[in-house]
């Protein structure tokens, strides 16, 4: 766990933006940078693929684009960093569309649960921790823990969610950036020292669109992806 945190902190930037349409279909935009294996060019961070084929496999997406999820606009650029340990890296960005919100349990980083409660959509995300340094840890473990801690200090995961502006969106942590929008920068340092996982819980309550809603509102442009009658709420 500590090694994966070190890779996460020192070698990649991660930004994830979730957009929900009125029927709770939507898309997730991803942007991150990962270190590569020097020979194969594969990502060293297993849950963040560096190739289009890797993304399709990671999320179980059909390459024909005829399933519940679709991969769009995959782009990547190989870069070289002055870090001798992980000099070969790749910047990756893409969008994944989904028809049902339950797909977010697969798409979002961390351990995610999606369910309905009192006519609200609940998205609960848990980000595991290393559990902190054990009391009987030796000098080498203590030094490595401090190294990881220092490396993580200025790093965070940049997460956001955008729902229709006339929906009510609640969250236990994060900053509201306007109607229907919440941003959350998850400090990675806490994933080393916290005993319990960091939890981000979002609740969304659907409201009818106001009759006087502006026709050119930005949020109205989030496309709806059709769902069958069983998946509709």
Q: Any idea where the domains of the chain sit in the sequence?
A: 2-217
> 203 or 127: which carries more pLDDT confidence?
203
Per-residue pLDDT, averaged over 57-76, amounts to 90
- Pairing relationship of beta strands 181-187 and 156-162 according to DSSP bridges: antiparallel
Half-sphere exposure of 51 (CA within 13 A, CB side): 10
pLDDT grade for 2, boundaries at 50, 70 and 90: very low
Q: How many angstroms separate the CA atoms of 92 and 51, rounded?
A: 8
Give percent of the chain with pLDDT exceeding 70. Answer: 70
Please give the pLDDT value at position 73. Answer: 94
- Which helix (H) or strand (E) covers residue 73, if one does? strand 69-80
Whether the model clears a pTM of 0.85, i.e. scores above it, the answer is no
Per-residue pLDDT, averaged over 57-62, amounts to 93
- What CA dihedral angle connects 189, 114, 49 and 222, to 10 degrees? -110
Per-residue pLDDT, averaged over 189-193, amounts to 62
114-152 pLDDT, tens digit per residue, is 999 999 999 999 987 655 555 555 565 555 556 556 666
- Three-class HEC string of 71-111: EEEEEEEEEECCCCCCCEEEEEEEEEEECCHHHHHHHCCCE
Per-residue pLDDT, averaged over 45-71, amounts to 89
């Amino acid at each position: 766990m500590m090694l994966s945190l070190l890779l996460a902190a020192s070698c990649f930037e991660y930004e994830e933006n979730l957009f929900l349409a009125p029927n709770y279909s939507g898309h997730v935009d991803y942007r991150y940078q990962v270190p590569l294996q020097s020979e194969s060019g594969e990502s060293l961070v297993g849950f963040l693929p560096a190739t289009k084929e890797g993304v399709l496999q990671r999320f179980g997406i059909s390459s024909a684009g005829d399933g519940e999820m679709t991969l769009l606009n995959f782009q990547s650029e190989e870069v070289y960093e002055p870090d001798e340990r992980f000099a070969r890296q790749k910047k990756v960005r893409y969008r994944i569309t989904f028809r049902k919100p339950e797909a977010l349990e697969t798409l979002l980083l961390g351990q995610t649960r999606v369910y309905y409660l009192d006519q609200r959509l609940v998205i609960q995300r848990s980000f595991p921790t290393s559990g902190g340094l054990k009391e009987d840890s030796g000098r080498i473990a203590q030094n490595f823990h401090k190294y990881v801690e220092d490396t993580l200090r200025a790093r965070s995961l940049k997460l956001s969610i955008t729902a229709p502006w006339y929906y009510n969106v609640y969250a236990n942590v994060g900053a509201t950036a306007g109607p229907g929008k919440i941003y959350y920068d998850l400090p990675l340092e806490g994933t080393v020292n916290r005993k319990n996982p960091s939890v981000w819980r979002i609740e969304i309550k659907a409201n009818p669109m106001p009759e006087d809603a502006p026709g050119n509102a930005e949020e109205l442009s989030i496309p709806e992806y059709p769902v069958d009658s069983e998946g509709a709420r």
